[in-house]
Amino acid sequence: MQQDFTRFHAEAQAADDQAINPTGDADLGALVDRGRRNLLKGGLGMAAFGFLAGGLGLSRQARADGLIGFSGVPTQHALDFDRVIVPPGYSARPFFSWGDAVLADAPAWNPDASDDWQAQLKQAGDNHDGMHFFPFPDAPDDHGLLVINHEYVNPTLHPAGMTFVDGRRPLDEVRKEQAAHGLSIIEVKKDAQGRWQRLLPSRYNRRLSAMTPMRLSGPLAGHDAMKTAADPEGLEVIGTLNNCSSGFTPWGTYLICEENWHNYFINRDRDDFARRVSHKRYGLASEGTSKLYAWETADPRFDATPDAAQPHGGYVNEPHRFGWVVEVDPFDPDSQPVKRTAFGRYCRECSVLSLGPDGRMAVYSGDDTKGEYVYKFVPTGRFDAANPRASRDLLDEGTLYVARFDEGGQGQWLALVHGQNGLTAENGFASQAEVLLNARAAADRAGATPMDRPEWVAVHPTTREVYVTLTNNDGRGSKQPVNAANLRPANLHGHILRWNEAGGDPTAITFEWELFLLAGEQPGARDAGGQPVPANLIGTVDGDIFSSPDGLAFDGEGRLWIETDYEDSEAPMQAMGCNQLLCADPRTRQVKRFLVGPRGCEITGITWSPDYRAMWINVQHPELSYPASDGKTRPRATTVLITRDDGGVIGS
């Protein structure tokens, strides 16, 4: 029997959309570098250089005009549109697709039959998302490691789709789905003709998956809440799930973020579920099957129903072991990934680091669910470029904050620290470990501002101004009240906010914020109250309208790149055509459309070579037969390489 997964993407999106924040109806009262990355060869043992030192970020000031130098591309509305288009003078080529070899002995991807899970562990996973290019210091513009998240899997992973046999998922299918999650690390290099190629074999190439053992560190490592029947010490987790966007550090490591991990678990004990904030507040299933793949029918680790007959209640704590940041050293293929619990546990979209001149830093994240929050983690220690080895465990100790956006453009970072902001035992937080484990509930208690699905954060390479995409929230005005920072009722198209930390200090606890732009608005638009939308808030100077900003990143010259994720065949998004990549000038709010992707996909993930003459983006969950475009082959999530035909800087 084959389950009906035909509405799969809509369901996956709907799961993302669930508003489970109980503060939604609270009285909200007053609410209303990417510089050049000189990274280390051979892991942390080699010298790391300053995060923003050198490169385009500081060598040239953003020009007074003409920051955006390409001709915008038109929207694409054809239902059979199955290509990537870029401006005249640019080329886009598929570079790394689901099923491509990562390890040298991987079998060739088979379009007609299903490779088994052992093969999948050696091939590119599915649904490429966040990624980062780590250059080798001896030839940074020509040679590096491309690190790519595989967020989740599509039914097309199997030629006949996802199946059930006697009410259970076949274990071989589940294992393949688990193998297609995680991360690919691939070595890439320019050839003699100057064309970027994937290198194979490579001693750096590596796949991480939902089956890879990972070490727990920080305040929750070894805690009772992390112990399971299979891991009585609470120190080692099998795998990482739903790796959406990401981040990177100045000491040369990659930060995987675990987003919608709750969709993989179920707790069928209604009473236990109702009492257990650590399950309920995150929206685990409590009846039927887990929300995405029903893995628990084949793999008991995903059944979080308490089982008193097993040590540590069986797998009731297994969901506690996801929702973290996972730090990976791409230059050390033998290193074990580490789940950093000091960051707090929620549905984490991204982890974007801002480094101050004195080595202090903040790591920003969004929790992409309706009415959830924007967070930052401030490590206690400082980054020391002269001694990068000392940074190895910098992310294990620090302070987690959540944002409150006040009326009038003032903002406050609220510390999620036991004993502060109402986070006491009498309010249900017995220790700092419980604050971190239940970060959403802690943020509720502290009085954070419920947002319209915060996705990516980007930090300007020279000013350190911070931007966040709020992708959309059709429940705003009904499930959550309108506030100053989330001002549109039934916000179908999303918006982008920006702020400056007090004194330009990433660790400050106050900030000044403003709206950067409202997506989906045309000049002359009126808001829900019939008032004209101020022209300076409309990011459509060239008529390049878009919806649902998601991916967001600055290049070294301060162009802001915006990637979209909406249901492109459904009204009212149809007006925007297929999903797209746009480029904005943060000073003028000019927005130009740079790229349009194939039907049904989301455009996500973005990274550059250090000279910004090569750009990689990801086409996730295309619907037709991209990249083959033959109308027959199964569609494949694909990393796309974009270059300028004259070799120039992308976007200039």
Question: Pick from Ca ion, ligand FEO, none: which does 126 bind, CB < 5 to 8 A by kind?
Answer: none
Of 404, 443, 405, whose CA–CA distance to 423 is shortest? 443
In angstroms, what is the minimal distance from the CB of 347 to ligand FEO? 8
Among 258, 396, 434, 455, binds Ca ion (CB under 5 A): 455
Question: Pick from Ca ion, ligand FEO, none: which does 220 bind, CB < 5 to 8 A by kind?
Answer: none
Q: How many CB atoms lie within 10 A of CB 433?
A: 19
In angstroms, what is the minimal distance from the CB of 16 to ligand FEO? 6
Question: Pick from ligand FEO, Ca ion, none: which does 33 bind, CB < 5 to 8 A by kind?
Answer: none
Which contiguous run of DSSP H or E holds residue 514?
strand 510-518
Of 135, 103, 112, 45, whose CA–CA distance to 389 is shortest? 45
Cβ closest to Ca ion, residue 301 vs residue 599: 599
Question: Pick from ligand FEO, Ca ion, none: which does 521 bind, CB < 5 to 8 A by kind?
Answer: none
Cβ closest to ligand FEO, residue 349 vs residue 465: 349
* Cα separations in angstroms, 338 against 216, 246, 461, 609: 6, 14, 27, 26
Q: How far apart are CA 389 and CA 73, in angstroms?
A: 45
Cβ closest to Ca ion, residue 290 vs residue 620: 620
**String of contacts with Ca ion for each residue 495-524, x by CB under 5 A:** ------------------------------
List the structure tokens of 173: 């299918």
- From the list 79-87, 381-389, 457-465, 547-555, the region that binds Ca ion by CB under 5 A is 547-555
In degrees, rounded to 5, the angle at the alpha carbon of residue 149 between the alpha carbons of residues 147 and 150 is 135
Of 392, 391, 389, 394, whose CA–CA distance to 377 is shortest? 394
Cβ closest to ligand FEO, residue 455 vs residue 585: 455
Residues that bind ligand FEO (CB under 6 A): 16, 151, 244, 259, 349, 368, 455
Cβ closest to ligand FEO, residue 395 vs residue 552: 552
Instruction: Name residue 134's beta-bridge partners.
Output: 145
Question: Pick from ligand FEO, Ca ion, none: which does 259 bind, CB < 5 to 8 A by kind?
Answer: ligand FEO
The three-state (H, E, C) secondary structure of 558-618, written as one string: CCEEEEECCCCCCCCHHHHCCCEEEEECCCCCCEEEEEECCCCCEEEEEEECCCCCEEEEE
Cβ closest to Ca ion, residue 521 vs residue 565: 565
Residue bearing tokens 């993989």: 264
Q: How far apart are CA 460 and CA 469, in angstroms?
A: 14
In angstroms, what is the minimal distance from the CB of 558 to ligand FEO? 25
Cβ closest to ligand FEO, residue 244 vs residue 326: 244
Which contiguous run of DSSP H or E holds residue 434?
helix 432-437
DSSP string, 301-370: GGB-S--TTSGGGTTTTGGGG-SSEEEE-TT-TTPPPEEEGGG--S-B---EEEE-TTS-EEEEEEB-SB
In angstroms, what is the minimal distance from the CB of 621 to ligand FEO? 11
In angstroms, what is the minimal distance from the CB of 397 to Ca ion? 29
In angstroms, what is the minimal distance from the CB of 9 to Ca ion? 9
In angstroms, what is the minimal distance from the CB of 547 to ligand FEO? 15
Cβ closest to Ca ion, residue 396 vs residue 565: 565
Question: Pick from Ca ion, ligand FEO, none: which does 623 bind, CB < 5 to 8 A by kind?
Answer: none
In angstroms, what is the minimal distance from the CB of 639 to ligand FEO? 16
Site for Ca ion in 554-593 (CB under 5 A): 565
Q: How far apart are CA 145 and CA 143, in angstroms?
A: 7
- From the list 139-147, 188-196, 449-457, 506-514, the region that binds Ca ion by CB under 5 A is 449-457
648 half-sphere exposure, CB direction, 13 A CA radius: 10
Amino acid present at 58? L
Cβ closest to Ca ion, residue 217 vs residue 246: 246
Report the SS3 class of residue 627. coil
Among 452, 550, 563, 585, binds Ca ion (CB under 5 A): 550
List the structure tokens of 551: 């991916």
Cβ closest to ligand FEO, residue 151 vs residue 318: 151
In angstroms, what is the minimal distance from the CB of 262 to ligand FEO? 13
Cβ closest to ligand FEO, residue 371 vs residue 388: 371
Question: Pick from ligand FEO, Ca ion, none: which does 100 bind, CB < 5 to 8 A by kind?
Answer: none
In angstroms, what is the minimal distance from the CB of 597 to Ca ion? 13
In angstroms, what is the minimal distance from the CB of 550 to ligand FEO? 6
Q: How many CB atoms lie within 10 A of CB 567?
A: 16
In angstroms, what is the minimal distance from the CB of 602 to ligand FEO? 8
Question: Pick from Ca ion, ligand FEO, none: which does 173 bind, CB < 5 to 8 A by kind?
Answer: none
H-state helical runs in 144-214: 171-179
How many chain residues interact with Ca ion (CB under 5 A)? 3
Report the SS3 class of residue 243. strand
Q: Which residue is nearest to Ca ion (CB)?
A: 565
Which contiguous run of DSSP H or E holds residue 256?
strand 254-258
Question: Pick from ligand FEO, Ca ion, none: which does 578 bind, CB < 5 to 8 A by kind?
Answer: none
Cβ closest to Ca ion, residue 90 vs residue 456: 456
Backbone angles phi, psi at 93, to 5 degrees: -135, 140
Residues of this chain that interact with Ca ion (CB under 5 A) are: 455, 550, 565
